[in-house]
Structure 1
């Protein structure tokens, strides 16, 4: 519910021009005005929604992928996941991505958390699911996606986050949400 004070702080958008429109992203520049009258241009990136999964086995280990991310030029652990195809159900996408990327089929999935990774510049809904258990789908992990897969103890993920081995917004958000559920006794 918005108050008058909230509405007084809304930015005015005078227009938006597209700079690049590709299959996976639309980059534009918005002409915006702040409530105090200052006007400037703001880059806006619109990306298709993504879904990922925190897959936990019976020993409370998380299925993760060790991969190189060229943009930051680092090797990191990540949750499996990816972009939704047009009109694809987020849960179906998440399950498909786990199997394609890791060779494991997630079981008993439920929505864990939804977030926007950089709400000031990027519009991309991310949905993270929690899967309790997985079965080996007897397919090889995608070599284009992952160097190796591993089952990381949930109790050790904070240490991986603090050391910089887990840095992606989706992985960090999903893992912290799972840790919160565990701390609340709901996991």
Structure 2
């Protein structure tokens, strides 16, 4: 696919970034930014390690494996795809498969790239890589109470209504699920 060449006339210039806080999962900094017209300002920047998630479909490609969990940041119960941060040196596809197994007790039978996204492009560098598995086998691990209240196979036919009700809220979960609905796997 061809893309339009970038125009240097509209490129923003970064004159430096100073660290505010640096932890294992987030580096917060303030960048000195200059717009093409010369306006200068400071912008908070959040940098996180890559995360990898997986859309796991059942053998019939009619249901998706999801986790029902509480997100304390906004105090809501939501359905999410399994996933987590990519460890240094780890292949993201291995991260996604490992996280599915650890968080749900199901082992993906396959893994293929689905899509990459940046959930908050204006202030964050937090690449989320999504993968697709067309089947999984139950390996019998119990659900980790720290990860989810329950694990369930959700009908793909119910996904749009769950998104509309706010039961599937995470950007990566929505993108992965809507991608599968828009471009059903063969």
TM over 0.5: yes
User: Residue 113 of structure 1: CA displacement?
Assistant: 0.6
Hey, what does 1:7 align to over in structure 2? 8
- Give the drift of 1:58: 2.2
Q: Which residue of 2 aligns with 1:170?
A: 172
Structure 2 residue runs without a partner (length 5+): none
Q: For each residue in 1:6-30, what CA deviation from the matched residue of structure 2 results, as whole angstroms up to 9, or x when unmatched? A: 2111111111100000011100000
> Counterparts of 1:18 and 1:61 in 2: how far apart (Å)?
44
CA RMSD of aligned residues (A): 1.0
Q: Which residue of 1 aligns with 2:81?
A: 79
1:156 matched to 2:166? The reply is no
The alignment's TM-score, normalised by the length of structure 2, stands at 0.95
Runs in 1 of length 4+ with deviation above 2 angstroms? none
The 2-side partners of 1:178 and 1:26 are apart by 32
Query: 1:2 offset after TM fit, Å?
Result: 2.7
Q: 1:1-187 residue pairs with structure 2 within 5 A?
A: 2-3=5-6, 6-59=7-60, 60-182=62-184, 186-187=185-186
Unaligned runs of 5+ in 1: none
Please state whether the residue corresponding to 2:129 is helix, strand or coil.
strand
Q: How big is the shift at 1:64?
A: 0.2
User: Normalising by the residue count of structure 1, what TM-score does the alignment of the two structures yield?
Assistant: 0.94
